[in-house]
Amino acid sequence: MSMNFDVCVIGAGPGGYVAAIRSAQLGYKTVVIEREYLGGVCLNVGCIPSKAMIAAAHFLHKTQHEAPKMGFEGTEGIKVNMSKLKNWKQSVCDKMSGGVSQLLKGNKVEVISGEASFKTVNELSVKTKNGDKTITAKYFVIATGSRPIEIPGFKPDEKDILTSTGALDLEKVPQKIVTIGGGYIGLEISSYLQKLGSEVTVLEAGGALLKGSADAECVKVVERKLKKSGVKVHTSAFAKSYKKQGNKLLVTAEIKGKLETVEADKILLTVGRRPNSDQLNIKAVGIKVNESGFVQINPQCRTNIPHIFAIGDIAGQPMLAHKASHEGVLVAEVIAGHNRVYDAKTVPAVIFTDPEIASAGWTEEQCKQNGHHELKIGKFPFAANGRAVAILETDGFIKIIADEKTHIVLGVHIVGPEASNLISEAVLGIEMGVRLEDLALSIHPHPTLGETMMEVAEAALGHAVHVINKPLTGAPRANA
C-alpha cells in the first residue's frame, strides 16, 4: 500500500507531534509515524510520569515531616499504596497522551502506528500490524529521539537492572536501590524513591554530581539535602559488576580507588542517553551523522539532504523536550517558507530534585569563556523570602549574573522552591536583553516567590533591602 503526503514526521514525541500539528495548521497534508505511543518517551515514560511521582513523593514527605510543624497531628501513620499510586501516575500519562491524539485528529493529521525505515531519501517503508506501507512525501522530519546508554555488565531488564522506564513503573518500593549515575535523571528518581522509603546509594563516576548540568553552587545545596535525607552519595565511583545472592543484588564498585560492595534490591542505570541515529536506515540513505551520533543539521534544522529535517534529541544537545517542541514549530514554518532559523539565546534547564534547580543563560565560567570577564553577581536566599518561610521551603537561593559595564543579564540560576516556574521570567529577560535595572524597577507582587527575581537584581546592584549589602562607595550623604 502506497500513500503520499506533503510532510511526513517520524516520531510523535514532543518534537514530532508539534511539527505535525504546525505543518497541518499551515495547510500541508501531514502524516506522523509512531512505533510506540503518542507523546513519546517524555509524556509516557519520562518527563510527565517522573514529575507525577516526584510530586506525590514530595506531598507525602511534607505531610509526614512538615505538617506536624504546622500543628497537624496523626500524620505519621500514612502509608504508600504503590498500586494505587502507579495507577494514578498512569492516569496522568493517559490523559496527556489522549490529549495529543485529539490534537492530531482535530488538525487532520494522519497517524500511522508502525516501525519506519528509509528506502530512499524520498520514500519510507513502514511495518504495521496490518502489513507494510510505503510512504512518500515532499518533506520528512526525523524526530525519533534517544534511548538510555548501557554500560558493560549492567544490561537493563527492567526487573533487576532498571532504566528510568522501569523505575517509574515499580510494583512496590524497593527497600534498597543503587543508582549508577549522578546526573539529573538519576537524582530525580533517587529523590522520589527516598521519599517513598527506599535506602538510596548513588554511584557517580565523575568528581561531582550534575557535572556540567547546573551551577556548582546550586548543586551543593541539593547534595547537602540528599545527604541530610539519608541518601549515600559516592563520587569518583565506578560500578564494575553485580551478582545475585538470593533476593539481593551485590554491586561491586571502585570508589575512590578501592573496591567496595553495596547491597541492593534494584539497580537503577542512568548514565545518559544516546540518539537513535542508528535506526531508521538513516546513514544508508546518505544522511550525515556526527561522531557523537547526532544527525547533523543547519540553523533551519535541515540535514545535508535539503528536504529532510531533524529535530529534538536526535539532532543534538540539549536533549530537552521544550527544545524539541521549539524546533518542531520552526521546521514546519521553514517548510512553509517563513524566514525562521534557530536563534534562541538560551534554552532553560530544570532539574526536579529537592530542592529544584533551574537555569537560563550562562554560568560564571561560561560568561568568561564568552568574553565577559568583569561581572556583577547577586544572590538572594529563599530564607529571606516571606512566602518561602510560610511554606517551609527555605533551602536555596537565586543567583543572577550580569555584565559589569552594561548590566545586561547573562545568566540566572535558581535552587529552591518552584525554581522550575520562576525561571521563565529569566528566559524572557535574557531573550530581550534585559538589564539589572529593568528587573529591579519592575514591581513584583508580595508575598510571592517571584519577588526574589526583583530582590536578586537589587542585590547585584548593591541596594537590596532584605539582605545585608556591602557598603556602597561614594554614596551621597544627606545634609545635616
* Residues annotated as catalytic (active site), given as ranges: 446
CA nearest to 14, candidates 34, 287, 263? 34
Q: Which three cell numbers stand for residue 114?
A: 508502525
How many residues make up the chain in this entry?
480
Distance CA 290, CA 292 (A): 5
* Residues 6+ positions from 381 with CB-CB distance below 8 Å: 394, 396, 397, 467
Q: Which three cell numbers stand for residue 238?
A: 565506578
8 A C-beta contact, residue 95 and residue 43: no
Half-sphere exposure of 131 toward its Cβ, with a 13 Å CA cutoff? 4
d(CA 348, CA 448): 21
126 in helix, strand or coil?
A: strand
Residue 301 amino acid letter:
C
CB burial class (10 A; 0-12, 13-18, 19+) of residue 392? middle
Which residue do the cell numbers 516567590 mark?
Answer: 449
Locus of grid cell 543547519:
298
Taking only Cα atoms into account, the Rg of the chain, rounded to an integer number of angstroms, comes to 25
